[in-house]
Amino acid sequence: MYNFNRLWNGIKRSPFGKLVQREQDLHLAMDFHRGRTLFVPAMGLMIAALAETFLKKAAFPQLKGAEYGLESRRWLAPDIAGVMDFSGTGSEGQFYVMDYFLVEVIGFTFGIAGTTTPAKVDFDLYPGINATGTIIASNLDGTNGTVTAPNATTAQAIGAVVYKNIGETGPVLCRPGNSIDVDVATACTAGSSAMAFVLGTPHSESHANLTTGFVGT
Pair 36, 16: CB distance under 8 Å: yes
Domain extents for the chain? 4-68, 73-202
Least Cα distance to 110 among 186, 163, 165, 181 occurs for 163
Q: How confident is the model at residue 51 (pLDDT cuts 50, 70, 90)?
A: low
> Does the pLDDT at position 143 exceed 80?
yes
Model pLDDT, residue 29: 56
CA separation for the pair 105, 172 (Å, rounded): 10
Model pLDDT, residue 1: 47
Q: How confident is the model at residue 43 (pLDDT cuts 50, 70, 90)?
A: low
Model pLDDT, residue 48: 61
Model pLDDT, residue 205: 86
> Does the pLDDT at position 195 exceed 70?
yes
Half-sphere exposure of 22 (CA within 13 A, CB side): 22
Q: Tens of pLDDT along 166-180?
A: 988 889 999 999 999
Element (H, E) at 5: helix 4-12
Q: Tens of pLDDT along 7-30?
A: 667 777 777 676 666 666 665 655
How many other C-beta atoms are found inside a 10 Å radius of the C-beta of residue 175?
A: 21
CA separation for the pair 124, 55 (Å, rounded): 25
The arithmetic mean of pLDDT across residues 60-81, rounded, is: 69
> Does the pLDDT at position 183 exceed 60?
yes
Model pLDDT, residue 33: 54
Model pLDDT, residue 65: 46
The chain-wide mean pLDDT, for the chain, equals 81
Identify the CATH class of 73-202: mainly beta
Query: Which long-range contacts (C-beta less than 8 Å, at least 24 apart) are formed by 93-96?
Result: 93/181, 93/182, 93/196, 94/126, 94/129, 94/130, 94/131, 94/179, 94/180, 94/181, 94/182, 95/179, 95/180, 95/182, 95/196, 95/198, 96/129, 96/178, 96/179
Q: Are strands 161-165 and 146-148 parallel, antiparallel or unpaired?
A: unpaired
Least Cα distance to 202 among 101, 131, 89, 108 occurs for 101
> Does the pLDDT at position 146 exceed 50?
yes
Least Cα distance to 20 among 184, 182, 202 occurs for 202
